[in-house]
């Protein structure tokens, strides 16, 4: 995996439903240029909303002006209201990837502006920069700052949950010393009443550890267990396994639930999708001092766990 960069970005998968909604809004425009921009604005809005969900920032997607048809000809805004804070303007990066267009009517009354870049197929968005203020219509991409600056807009004292999520990277090396974060539980305490055959480790492995975390997918009766384990087979390589299974042993995983392994640059290196299956498992190896992420996604819900060793 590549080394960590100083400029924080965030990658969000875009679902077919996201693109369908964006396409419906695009068809409301007769001007092809405005129609394409509106399509990209909707997807930028979905991407920033997913990021806020991951950061436990309370946002209200349904209150965005983008859904207000009478106002759209007057103000092409893709604002995302944030509870008690204001609104974030979600700004698509130009198709050539060099700049961001920001309409003058949204230069004020904004908590800030987030630049969003898309993959060529619009199945993925990357939040690539933040600005607190904007005073020009075309802002070069290099003039945008790290997403860290956006997170600094929120008072960690007033929002302890946000502080924990943003600052907390799971230290797997501490797991080997029997030091665990509170929401990562012992396997036996969660899975004691069922047999999943979780025999991931090899018989020859002497140092291994595994823990499990409960993830609420924000859908009724949809809760899964994320199990992460590791073993040190040598001084230069660590084996890691990631396993996702329903909390209810009688259920299957939600259809289309995806699990991805990301590197430090938020690039997907492994992925699996549930299609009528009860479990998903990904196995890989990392080197000491590397960082990787596990992303669990179902429709508009995304959660990302970051690990270091």
Kindly state whether residues 122 and 187 are assigned to the same domain: no
Q: Is position 1 within any domain? A: no
The secondary structure of residue 14, as a DSSP letter, is: -
At 192 the pLDDT is 57
Residue 298 vs residues 69, 89, 192: alpha-carbon distances, Å: 29, 25, 27
At 244 the pLDDT is 94
Kindly state whether residues 27 and 158 are assigned to the same domain: yes
Q: Model-level pTM greater than 0.85?
A: no
Kindly state whether residues 156 and 199 are assigned to the same domain: no
Kindly state whether residues 258 and 140 are assigned to the same domain: no
Exposure string over 85-121, b if 16+ CB within 10 A, otherwise e:
eebbbbbbbbeeeebbebeeebeeebbbbbbbbbeee
Kindly state whether residues 72 and 146 are assigned to the same domain: yes
Kindly state whether residues 100 and 212 are assigned to the same domain: no
At 287 the pLDDT is 83
> Domain count of the chain?
2
Q: What is the residue range of 149's domain?
A: 10-164
Closest CA to 243 of 288, 188, 280: 280
Task: Name the burial class of residue 24, with classes exposed (0-12), middle (13-18) and buried (19+) by CB atoms within 10 angstroms of its CB.
Answer: exposed
Kindly state whether residues 146 and 180 are assigned to the same domain: no
Which residues, including other chains, have CB under 8 Å from residue 219's CB and lie 6 or more apart?
254, 298, 301
Question: Mean pLDDT score of the chain, rounded to an integer?
Answer: 82
Q: Is position 86 within any domain? A: yes
Kindly state whether residues 196 and 101 are assigned to the same domain: no
Kindly state whether residues 85 and 17 are assigned to the same domain: yes
For 239, the 3-state DSSP assignment is strand
Only one residue has tokens 């047999």, namely 195
Kindly state whether residues 144 and 193 are assigned to the same domain: no
Closest CA to 21 of 122, 164, 172: 122
DSSP per-residue string spanning 19-86? HHHHHHHHTT-SSHHHHHHHHHHHHHHHHHHHHHHHTT--B-GGG-GGG-TTTTTT----EEEETTTE
Regions of the chain with pLDDT less than 70: 1-7, 70-75, 154-168, 191-206, 218-221, 234-235
At 106 the pLDDT is 92
- Residue 248, token pair as written in the block: 């209810």
């Amino acid at each position: 995996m590549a080394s960590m960069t100083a400029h924080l970005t965030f990658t969000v998968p875009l679902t077919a439903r996201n693109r369908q909604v964006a396409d419906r809004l695009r068809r409301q425009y007769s001007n092809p240029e405005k129609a394409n921009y509106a399509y990209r604005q909707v997807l930028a809005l979905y991407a920033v909303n997913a990021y806020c969900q991951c950061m436990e920032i309370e946002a209200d997607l349904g209150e965005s002006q983008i859904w207000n048809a009478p106002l759209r000809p007057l103000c092409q805004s893709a604002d995302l209201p944030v509870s008690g804070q204001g609104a974030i303007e979600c700004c698509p990066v130009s198709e050539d990837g060099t700049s961001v267009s920001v309409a003058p009517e949204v230069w004020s009354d904004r908590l800030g502006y987030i630049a969003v870049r898309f993959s060529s197929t619009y199945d993925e968005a990357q939040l690539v920069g933040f600005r607190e203020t904007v005073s020009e219509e075309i802002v070069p991409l290099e003039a945008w700052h790290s997403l860290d600056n956006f997170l600094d807009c929120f008072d960690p004292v007033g929002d302890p949950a946000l502080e924990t999520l943003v600052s907390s990277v799971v230290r797997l090396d501490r797991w080997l010393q029997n030091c665990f974060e509170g929401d990562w539980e012992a396997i036996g305490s969660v899975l004691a009443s069922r047999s999943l055959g979780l025999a991931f480790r090899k018989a020859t492995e002497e140092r291994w550890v595994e823990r499990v975390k409960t993830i609420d997918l924000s859908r009724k009766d949809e809760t899964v267990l994320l199990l992460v384990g590791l073993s040190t087979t040598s001084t230069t390589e660590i084996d890691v396994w990631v396993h996702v299974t329903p909390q209810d042993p009688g259920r299957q995983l939600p259809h289309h639930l995806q699990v991805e392994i990301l590197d430090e640059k938020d690039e997907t290196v492994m992925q699996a999708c549930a299609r009528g299956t009860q479990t998903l498992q990904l196995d890989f190896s990392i080197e000491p001092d590397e960082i990787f992420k596990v992303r669990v996604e179902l429709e508009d819900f995304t959660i990302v766990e970051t690990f270091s060793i």
